[in-house]
Structure 1
Amino acid sequence: MLFPAFLQLIKPPDCSVYMKERDEENVLSLYPEEAQNTDKLSQKSIPAQVFLNYFFAINYHIQNSGTMAPGQLPILHEQRPELTDQDLEAIKKLLLNSWSTEYALRATAELGDEEYMRNALHWTFPQAYYAVYAGLQAFLYTRGLKTNNEGWVLREAGRLVVKNAYPRAIGFYASGHYDDFNVHRLPLAHYKPGLQIAGKELEAQSQIGQFLRTTRRMKAKAVRQAVQANLATAIRSSKTGDVLQKFGPQHWQQLTWRMGYTTVFDLMARLRISSTHREIARFVQAEIDFKLFHESLLQIVGYLNGIHECFVAQAMGLQKYEEYVQELPAYLQRSFVEARLQQQIKPLLGKEDYDLGQAA
């Protein structure tokens, strides 16, 4: 991925639009004629096409969100944390896990056979997620979060997204109670998406907005199921004391704090969920562009990993990071890892007049 696409504006637009989940059916349709044309796309292919649209839209949005100067990444101006030798070894292991998984994902994409890619979804979906997740863990480790608890990792990532620690291209998120969701930093998310691949920023934002809302809805239902299955945490009827079976708005609101924010990392986690359900069989049978799907996933993974590698290199020190890259196993030598170091990280962190320890 080219260096300019890596650095995106962090500051959200002042005119952020908040999309209410309950108004979802009333938003403007991009394609009024589409209701009559859905029969052109096989019904069994629609779920897979929508999923492809979501990830293509994320990549489209990343590629079209503008560039920024190095000094506009506030997190790079924070005080560099003190890392022990034990910390460094743990971070290196997480980076190696991330890179090895991305290597496997790239190997599949580079084979180029669409039939192979179709059947490879069983493992490329989780590979895309875990390649990003391990890189995220490495970054958070430099900030003192040393855990394998996925919920804690995603919650902290969400908090950092909201605090503008990440570039604007992935600074969008959803918040709010069940059935009353808000989408932030996507000013065009109030349009109802169609079934077409995004060709404009308006189409991309509308699809990402819908992806955020549906993912947050799934997350809310999963939290409810976990809470209500535990007698110690279950919400009960004020009249009978029995565990509630039906939730009203006031009950959903009691669960919102457990959900955190819904960000691009939660959207990537949908790949893990999809790979473990029977719906993957429907994806394999669908008539969609599998090569485009893999290309979109690969570019998103490369972008997210590049950001985290930059943050990790800043925390480790550029020299130590570069030394580690030179010591990688043979299959990772002179690879995408080296390319991102030379094209993205060194131009950003290697400037003599760039004081990384200066407060933002």
Structure 2
Amino acid sequence: MKNETKMLESLSLFQDIDKQEEQEQDTWKKSIPAQVFLNHFFGMHYHIQHAENAYDLDIMPQFINYKPALQTATIEEVKKLLLNCWSTEYALRSTAELGNEQYLRNALHWTFPQAYYSVLFGLRAFLATFGIVQNNNERIKRETGMLVVKGYYPFPIAYYASGTYDNFIVHRLPLAARKPGLQLATESMEAQAQIGQFLRTTRKLYARAIRQQMQSNPQTALRNKKGEILDKFTAQHWQKINWRLGYTTYFDLLERLRISTRHREIERFVEAEIDFSLFHQCLLEIVSYLNLIHESYIAKAVGLETYEMIVNQLPDYISKGFVKDRLTQKIEPLLKKTEKSQIQHAA
């Protein structure tokens, strides 16, 4: 009788273990989409952190020769956009620095859009120095794509995708063709694979969205020979809408953050078992890097003295923190080095 009782207890224990393992497997499966999303952004972060010339804008012809003539009204517009950019980055930093895992889990609801909008405002300020004062998202994406292709961005963020549906080409990521894994990148090959996959899936989603938009409107829908609205697209049909895709760049990848918050996708992320602290750190460092690149161009456009004045006029909570640090540690040395190099070449 005692042996039978022990056997039943052992059986119950094994059943509990099996049940626990099943629950863990189920949790992991549900966490895969969120983990993939984290892997993609970690790949972007890794690619920036391990690049040799990430901050060497002074060797880039587009930066060296960048000196637009700006009107006072343009500079005022730039100041407004930068304030929005920095205020949003400040909010993102405040969340990331709190560090509580449970808080960071729920904070995805607002940190996703914060990361996107901080870069968006900085990008708009950068575009304004070209005379492009624009808040239309599609126009901003097209202009950004052209700047990336023309070489205005340093190597770690200069990648982009082009091509028609199911025939996408990833540029400036020579190792992007391989299939990425489900683990965080620990080497350049995996980081590039993650970014390449992110570019392709993002471009595919955007292409499908354009098709949906076109085909739901009788005025723009493509039709067959009978005049019926097409349900399925062939390669030829995809080619006809390819011009609307433009280039897929870092900005499209960041836009996925904004899109995620509008759908049930964000709820799956919040419920997933991933490293939320790492996710926030990746987003913050990507945002910080992109904002620095845009700030460097803006500072060169308006002049270092004017840029310093813009920073000094900011509220204390911004002017004496990360914005000032980027100015003194990165932008000021960069501009002085670039100016010195230009003088030497002129001589």
Question: Do they fold alike, i.e. is TM over 0.5?
Answer: yes
Offset, 1:242: 2.2
Q: Letter of the aligned partner of 1:246 in structure 2?
A: K
Q: Identify the residue that residue 47 of structure 1 maps to in structure 2.
A: 33
Contact persistence 1:318–1:350 (CA under 8 A): no
Q: Identify the residue that residue 123 of structure 2 maps to in structure 1.
A: 136
In the TM superposition, what are the counterparts of 1:194-209 in structure 2 within 5 Å? Answer: 194-209=181-196
What is the distance in 2 between the residues matched to 1:63 and 1:79?
Answer: 25
Offset, 1:70: 4.7
What is the distance in 1 between the residues matched to 2:57 and 2:215?
Answer: 47
In the TM superposition, what are the counterparts of 1:169-318 in structure 2 within 5 Å? Answer: 169-237=156-224, 239-318=225-304
Q: Letter of the aligned partner of 1:160 in structure 2?
A: L
Give the unaligned 5+ runs of structure 1.
1-37
Residues 120, 90 of structure 1: alpha-carbon distance in 2 compared, 3 angstrom cutoff: same
Offset, 1:176: 0.4
Q: Which segments of structure 1 move beyond 3 Å, counting only runs of 4 or more?
A: 38-41, 68-71
Q: Letter of the aligned partner of 1:306 in structure 2?
A: L
Q: What is the aligned-residue identity percentage?
A: 58
Residues 171, 308 of structure 1: alpha-carbon distance in 2 compared, 3 angstrom cutoff: same
Offset, 1:277: 0.7
In the TM superposition, what are the counterparts of 1:73-92 in structure 2 within 5 Å? Answer: 73-92=60-79
1:349 corresponds, among 306, 327, 335, to 335
Q: Letter of the aligned partner of 2:180 in structure 1?
A: P
Greater RCO, CA 8 A, separation 6+? 1
Q: Identify the residue that residue 5 of structure 1 maps to in structure 2.
A: none
Contact persistence 2:148–2:249 (CA under 8 A): yes
What is the distance in 2 between the residues matched to 1:290 and 1:71?
Answer: 35
In the TM superposition, what are the counterparts of 1:60-71 in structure 2 within 5 Å? Answer: 60-67=46-53, 69-71=56-58
In the TM superposition, what are the counterparts of 1:141-152 in structure 2 within 5 Å? Answer: 141-152=128-139
Q: Letter of the aligned partner of 1:215 in structure 2?
A: T
Q: Letter of the aligned partner of 1:44 in structure 2?
A: K
What is the distance in 1 between the residues matched to 2:237 and 2:56?
Answer: 45
**TM-score, length of structure 1 as denominator length:** 0.86
User: Is the radius of gyration larger for structure 1 or structure 2?
Assistant: 2
Q: Secondary structure at the match of 1:191?
A: coil
What is the distance in 2 between the residues matched to 1:345 and 1:314?
Answer: 9
The Cα offsets for residues 318-344 of structure 1, whole Å up to 9 and x where unpaired, read as 110001100101211211000000111
Give the unaligned 5+ runs of structure 2.
1-23
Q: Identify the residue that residue 31 of structure 1 maps to in structure 2.
A: none
Aligned length: 320
Contact persistence 2:67–2:301 (CA under 8 A): yes
Offset, 1:276: 1.0
Contact persistence 2:67–2:300 (CA under 8 A): yes
What is the distance in 1 between the residues matched to 2:300 and 2:152?
Answer: 14
Higher helix share: 2
Matched, 1:99 2:76: no
Offset, 1:302: 0.3
2:43 corresponds, among 50, 57, 70, to 57
Contact persistence 2:176–2:194 (CA under 8 A): yes
Offset, 1:71: 3.3
What is the distance in 2 between the residues matched to 1:272 and 1:204?
Answer: 22
What is the distance in 1 between the residues matched to 2:290 and 2:306?
Answer: 21
